Structures are given as C-alpha cells and as structure tokens.
Amino acid sequence: MTRTVVLTGATSGIGRAAAREFAGRGDRLVLAARSPASLAELRDECRAAGADVLVVPLDITSPGAVAALAGAAETEFGRIDAWVHTAAVMAYGRFDETPAEVFDQVVRTDLLAAAEVARVALRRFRAAGGGTLVLTGSVLGHITAPYMSGYIAAKWGLQGLARALQQEARDTPGVRICLVNPGSVDTPIYRRAGNYLGRPGRPPPPVTAPERVARAIAHCVDRPRREVSVGRLNVVMRFGFTVLPGIYDVLVGPLMRLAGLSRQPVAPHDGVLFAPDPDSAAVRGGWLPDLPQVVRSVGGATAAVGSAVLRRLR
C-alpha cells in the first residue's frame, strides 16, 4: 500500500535522509521546509527514486502554516497516513550570555512548532480513523549538558509532550505517536547552529549516520513504537545522569568542552535560527567518512590498478 508521508524539516540532516528513505520505499511525499531552493533540489532527488512529491515552502513557526501544509497534502493526495517531524535548530552559549530572542526562537522551533504539528496531524488522523505521528527528540531530552540550554529545554518539553499524547491516544484506536531519540548524529545542525560561546559545536563521539536514524523513523511508520533510541552510548549517559548525578555533573562540563566543542574561535552569529541557508542544507555534516564514496573510490582505484597490471602482462 502506498502511503502519504508529510515531512517537516525535510531539507537537511535527518529530515533529508528520511525523505530519501521513504522515496526509496515508494511512498508519496509532502516535503516542507523554509528554503524553496533546497526543497526543489530534494524534490528532484526523490522523484528520481520514483516517488510522487509535493513541496511546500513554509516556516513552521508562522501562524497557520502547519494547517495550510496539511490542507495542501490532502488536496494533492487525498489523505495523510504519516507525519514525520524533524525540524530543529540549535544555539550554543551560556544561558545568561545568549540573547533572549535566540533562546525563544530555539524553543519556538523545537517545541512549540512540534506541538502545532502534533495538534494538526492528530486532528487529521482522528477524522480519518488512523495515522502515525513520528516526532524527533534527542538523548538530550533525557539528560543535560552545558551551553545548549534552549535546545535541551525544548527536547525535555517534547519528551513530556510525546508521553502525554501517547496516553491520550489510548482512546483513539489507529492513531499512533512515536518518539525517535538520536544521540550524536553526523548532520549539519552543529555548523548551522547559532553561536554565542566563541567555539563552534560538534557531535561528541560516537557519531551515528543520519541514514540510520532515517531507517529507525521509517520502521516506526511501519511498526509504531512508543520510543526508539538511536545511539550506542544513549543508555550509558541516561544511566549516569539518573543514578550517579553528582559524578555526572562533575564530568559533563569538561567532557562537553573536550568532545562537544571545536577549538577554533568563532564570532557570535545567529546561524539558521531566523533564516534558511540553502548552501549548508545537506544530509551529512562531514563528521563521519562517507563510506559509500570510500567504497566507490577504493573500487575505482582497484579497477585502475588491475587494468594497468593486465596491460603490462599482455
């Protein structure tokens, strides 16, 4: 059965990887993000994979934008079977040194816009008799770290929201709510983050590929689960935060400065908090090697060496 899947935050990172994953499965896609240029590029990628695609440029923090997106999806494809929400922004800085409007924008995008997506999607699902909502949280919805207060506040809020929605959904058969919580992922969000700390952020190891998170999201649409954790150390970090809070608090600051921040200086900037940057929209952030490209390069080099050897033997 061909499904109609709406993806918000579709043009970068986990959202873009998820769009490719669903396109490869033959689903019909409704892709939404702020940049028309990035959406057009992703549309062409997904159509090349054989998917029917509708793109809707929008800012999910704008009043009425999410409802208009749902209406466009239903007009184009008749119904919405799944809604995957991955849109998120991030800012680094000490809480008291980060501009208030920056903190507010992170919470507005990462929590309040997610709540509006859930509100609109669940109303459609109840009217249609079913549907699956997948929200993208974070391991930082269960633990804390310094210099990311807005993002962490939003992800903790999203964790609580998802749990409350799951409890309410017990009264609406056919409606499922899933929460996918990645750890460190190789996406551009760290480079695109606002920064008021003087040092850029980076994903602390071990780093997961966004394609792995995308597969977990697609699997939730296939077989819904309440919560999925993607990351080898997520359980360890949650254990330390909960069971050994004193030790955790002593270690988390030095570890964050060592593994979660780059060393080169950076001037204060807003990143993509208030405007999109099509040039930085990509699946990968460059923190992991692109293994398919490595395999192709090694294969090409091996073939070239083999051809050279054969020519000399003739």
- The confidence score (pLDDT) of residue 314 equals 55
Number of structural domains in the chain: 1
Q: Quick one: average pLDDT of 289-293?
A: 55
- For residue 135, list its beta bridge partners: 85, 179
Report if residue 288 sits inside a domain. Answer: no
Domain range enclosing 72: 4-283
Contact 285, 189 (CB under 8 A): yes
**Domain containing residue 258: CATH number:** 3.40.50.720
Report if residue 150 sits inside a domain. Answer: yes
Report if residue 248 sits inside a domain. Answer: yes
Residue 24: pLDDT over 50: yes
Q: Quick one: average pLDDT of 239-253?
A: 97
pTM for this predicted structure: 0.90
- Distance between CA atoms of residues 193 and 9, nearest Å: 15
Report if residue 307 sits inside a domain. Answer: no
pLDDT tens for each residue of 138-169: 999 999 999 999 999 999 999 999 999 999 99
Report if residue 160 sits inside a domain. Answer: yes
- The confidence score (pLDDT) of residue 274 equals 98
Report if residue 308 sits inside a domain. Answer: no
Name the residue among 13, 20, 7, 85 with its Cα closest to residue 276: 13
Report if residue 313 sits inside a domain. Answer: no
Report if residue 302 sits inside a domain. Answer: no
Contact 34, 8 (CB under 8 A): no
- The confidence score (pLDDT) of residue 150 equals 98
